[in-house]
Amino acid sequence: MTDLLRPSRALLPLLFLLLACVPFAAAAAQQPFWTSFFARILIYAIAASALNLALGYGGLVSFGHALFLGVGAYAVALPAFHGIGSGWVHLLFCLAGGAAVALVIGAISLRTSGMAFIMITLAFAQMGYFLLVSLKFYGGDDGLPVAAPSRFGALDLGSAPVLYGVAWAVLLVLTWWMSRLRAAPFGMALRAARQNARRVDAMGLQSRRLQLAAFTLSGTACALAGALLANLNAFVSPSSMSWSVSGELIVMVVLGGIGTVAGPVMGALVFLGLEEGLKGVTEHWMALFGPLIVLMAMFGRRGIVGWIEALEQSRWPARAGAGRGRR
């Protein structure tokens, strides 16, 4: 069985191929809803991949990543409110804002670890939420419509197929980078720090700095997802920063396969697909979803991709490669 045909290796290219077909299928079937639905999946896959960098590779359980989604979203909505529709300005605010917020929060939160870290990231996201709710001028609790979508010259993110294409491309680049990062010195050192931070320091690196860098990169990439989300919904609100969104991102990462490359994409797909499916069954779908999450936490820790890889390893044992599949 050649390396390329192993299910775990083929999974990601296959997913991207299928996702690329969606806008065309939607046009043919005259179901524009498909494009926006899958665009949403792509965007959350970007956010989940970003979280995977901090959580999966770095072992940093951040329960406040929805904050970065909000930063990215408002980085589009606020300039738009003031009449600025240039995508470049939005992008600048998004990346700068995301990086700055992540750096500050990361620096403070990483003074602690374990339970305290989780609680503190949660608290900071809540702070961001309350801050935006109290800014009545920008809509507060009611939210703010996005007055002008991001324009990059001829590219107008206000058009669903264009947004889809951009999101697909961003996810592709991000996922490719994550797969390279895994084996690169930074990724290896970060994953080592997750396993044994004390040892990493004793070897001559500074685990705290590595983790802060990872957290900052993670927050910035997540902000990018937020900016895309603002364009998709043409609307932003503080509720996109609520802690339940942070929790949902974590569920996506774990469900897909924490620390794997394909995991976040798979996780976003399955999570949002399941949510949509359950919504069709009952309006009280959360009463079903909640227990499913509990069961996943108790029994399904490897996630879908992790499960595929374990299955594969037992049936076709490979010469152990560069930490392939494992976190």
Partner 1 sequence: MASLQTTDLVKHFGGLTVTDRVCLDIRPGELHAVIGPNGAGKTTLINQLSGELRSSGGAVRFDGQDVTGWAVHRRARAGLLRSYQITSVFEEFTVLENAALAARAARGHAWRFWRPLLADPTARAAAEEALRATGLEAHAGTPAGELAYGQRRQLELAMALAAQPRFLLLDEPMAGMSVQESAEVTRLLQGLKRRYTILLVEHDMDAVFALADRISVLVYGRLMFTGSPEEIREHPEVRAVYLGEELD
Partner 2 sequence: MNLTLLLAQLLNGLQYGVLLFLLAAGLTLVFGIMSFVNLAHGSLYMVGAYAAALAYGAGGSFTLAMLTAMAAALAVGLILETTVVSRLYRRDHLDHVLATFGLVMFFNEAVRIVWGPQPLFVQVPESLVGTVDLLGFGYPLYRFAIIVAGLVVAIGSYLLIHKTRVGMLIRAGAQNPQMVAALGIPIGLLNALLFGVGAMLAGVAGAMAGPVLSVQSGMGDAVLITTLVVIVIGGIGSVTGAFYAALIVGVVDTMGRVYLPLLLRQVADRSVADAAGPALASMSVYLLMALVLALRPQGLFPAHRT
Q: Among candidates 188, 320, 178, 139, which has minimal Cα distance to 260?
A: 178
Which residue, 133 or 172, is less far from partner 2 as judged by CB?
133
Question: How wide is the angle at C-alpha 235 spanned by C-alphas 97 and 93, nearest 5°?
Answer: 15
- The site map against partner 1 for 128-167 (x = CB under 8 A) is ----------------------------------------
Q: Residue 173: CA atoms inside 13 Å, Cβ hemisphere, count?
A: 7
Among 45, 71, 77, 181, binds partner 1 (CB under 8 A): 181
DSSP one-letter code for 234:
T
Choose, by CB under 8 A, the member of 135, 205, 234, 274 that binds partner 1: 205
| Residues 20, 165 contacting (CB under 8 angstroms) | no
Which lies closer to partner 1 via its Cβ, residue 90 or residue 194?
194
Q: Which parts of 300-319 interact with partner 1 (CB under 8 A)?
A: 319
Distance CA 147, CA 28 (A): 30
201 binds, among partner 1, partner 2, none (CB under 5 to 8 A by kind): partner 1
What region, left, alpha or beta, does residue 235 occupy, with left being phi > 0 and alpha being psi -120 to 50 degrees? beta
Q: Of 292, 310, 312, 324, which lies in the binding site for partner 2, with binding defined by CB under 8 A?
A: 292
CA separation for the pair 263, 250 (Å, rounded): 11
Residues 238-277 as x/- pattern, contact with partner 1 by CB under 8 A: ----------------------------------------
Longest CA pairwise span in the chain (Å): 61
How many residues of this chain bind partner 1 (CB under 8 A)?
33
Q: Which does 254 bind (CB under 5 to 8 A by kind): partner 2, partner 1, none?
A: partner 2
Count helices and strands in the chain by DSSP H and E runs: 12, 4
Look up tokens 């044994």; give the residue: 196
Quick one: which segment of 81-89, 91-99, 119-127, 210-218 binds partner 2 (CB under 8 A)? 119-127
Pairing state of beta strands 235-236 and 151-152?
Answer: unpaired
Query: Does the protein bind partner 1 through residue 111 (CB under 8 A)?
Result: no
Residues 42 and 225: their CA atoms lie apart, in Å, by 9
CB-nearer residue toward partner 1: 99 or 189: 189
Nearer to partner 2, 251 or 305 (CB): 251
Footprint of partner 1 on 206-235 (CB under 8 A)? 206, 210, 213
- Report the interface residues with partner 1, using CB under 8 A: 177, 180-181, 183-192, 195-196, 198-206, 210, 213, 319-323, 326-327
